[in-house]
């Protein structure tokens, strides 16, 4: 399709995975009712970003019982793509006839590595097929207390009714080779998921759009301090009251020239909608195509190891 409507859902994270799936269903339906055929949710939307890593005290202490309890609860609420939670996301895509991209904390039910969580971006087609399963390559700083390293199997773009869709998670946007891998994959639409799309994240998202000559959907969440694990002590400088926003949104839609189509929205729930014209992609690629006429394959050799990592071979 030449023109399509894309949506970013910016909302408060839910109290549980079950509630989060219901909110995902209702907000996807609202976006689809407004014409969206591509619907995007932020980084680890389900069950919510573990902001307690940064705004609670003592979480990095060795053998800290409250932190272990918080992790155990977070793990129990994380998504398993092969169980009912993964099936529920596939049904939402089918029911609303949309391409659905959603960030999740992913758990593995059993077998080798089942004690490890992953920061994952899932892409479902309108037929419910899981088109791409990307695990964040490198958890950032304190995130390494919660998530393991992903692999490059999902470092690609996939064909959808709205065009080729790819995505990266948070600080992967400062990994030049990860960016180049997706530029080579021929994205039309790039999904950039973040906890909050603060200023430096806006810069990275706009740079990605300009460099990749693609539309970028930069998605962030909302979270109040009241959603932090009750057993952890808050840093009062960063979470002064229950109503303090520890995640403040900032979602935006960016064109392939790096300019905002929908400017950032902070501090409030919203569904950002934009009609995107694929002809703009062709116009902007006249001057820059880093995987094509603006590349130098005679001077640079680039490759990606795309096989999944395995604990046992």
Active site residue 56: no
Give the strand pairing for 117-124 and 222-224: unpaired
Exposure of 310 by Cβ count < 10 A (0-12 exposed, 13-18 middle, 19+ buried)?
exposed
Angle (deg, nearest 10), helices 17-33 and 84-96: 10
**Given 56, 77, 136, 214, the catalytic residue:** 136
Q: Among candidates 177, 210, 212, 208, which has minimal Cα distance to 194? A: 208
**Given 43, 106, 143, 187, the catalytic residue:** 43
Helix (H, G, I), strand (E, B) or coil at 107: strand
Instruction: Confirm if 240 and 246 have CB atoms less than 8 A apart.
Output: no
Look-up: residue for tokens 């065009």?
163
**Given 56, 106, 143, 170, the catalytic residue:** 170
**Angle at CA 157, nearest 5°, toward 154 and 163?**
150
Chain centroid offset of residue 112 CA: 25
Chain centroid offset of residue 29 CA: 19
Q: What share of the chain is helix, strand, coil (3-state, %, to 5)?
A: 30, 30, 45
Active site residue 211: no
Look-up: residue for tokens 């969440």?
221
- Report residue 125 as tokens: 């087609």
Instruction: Confirm if 101 and 123 have CB atoms less than 8 A apart.
Output: yes
Could you tell me where the DSSP H helices lie in the chain? 17-33, 52-55, 65-76, 84-96, 176-184, 199-212, 279-284
Q: Which residues of 70-101 are buried (b: 16+ CB within 10 A; e: fewer)?
A: bbeebbebbbbbeeebbebbbebbbebebbbb
Active site residue 224: no
* Residues labelled catalytic: 43, 136, 170
């Amino acid at each position: 399709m030449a023109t399509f409507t894309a949506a970013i859902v910016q909302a408060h994270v839910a109290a549980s995975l079950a509630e989060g799936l219901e909110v995902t269903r209702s907000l996807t339906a609202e976006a689809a009712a407004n014409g969206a055929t591509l619907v995007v949710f932020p980084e680890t939307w389900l069950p919510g970003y573990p902001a307690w890593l940064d705004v609670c005290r003592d979480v990095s202490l060795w053998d800290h019982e409250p932190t272990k309890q918080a992790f155990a609860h977070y793990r129990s609420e994380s998504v398993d793509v092969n169980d009912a939670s993964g099936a529920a996301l596939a049904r939402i895509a089918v029911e609303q006839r949309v391409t659905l991209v959603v960030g999740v904390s992913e758990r593995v039910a059993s077998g080798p590595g089942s004690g490890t969580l992953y920061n994952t971006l899932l892409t479902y087609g309108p037929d419910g097929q899981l088109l791409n399963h990307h695990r964040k390559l490198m958890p950032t700083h304190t995130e390494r207390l919660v998530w393991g390293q992903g692999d490059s199997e999902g470092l690609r773009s996939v064909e959808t009714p709205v065009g080729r869709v790819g995505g990266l998670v948070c600080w992967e946007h400062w990994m030049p080779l990860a960016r180049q891998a997706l530029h080579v994959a021929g994205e039309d639409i790039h999904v950039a998921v973040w906890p909050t799309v603060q200023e430096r994240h806006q810069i990275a998202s706009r740079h990605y759009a300009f460099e990749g000559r693609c539309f970028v959907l930069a998605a962030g969440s909302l979270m109040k301090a009241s959603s932090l694990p009750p057993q952890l002590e808050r840093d009062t400088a960063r979470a002064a009251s229950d109503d303090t926003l520890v995640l403040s949104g900032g979602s935006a839609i960016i064109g392939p020239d790096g300019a905002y189509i929908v400017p950032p929205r902070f501090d409030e729930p919203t569904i950002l909608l934009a009609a995107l014209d694929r002809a703009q992609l062709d116009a902007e690629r006249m001057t820059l195509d880093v995987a094509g006429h603006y590349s130098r394959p005679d001077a640079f050799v680039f490759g990606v190891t795309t096989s999944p990592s395995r604990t046992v071979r």
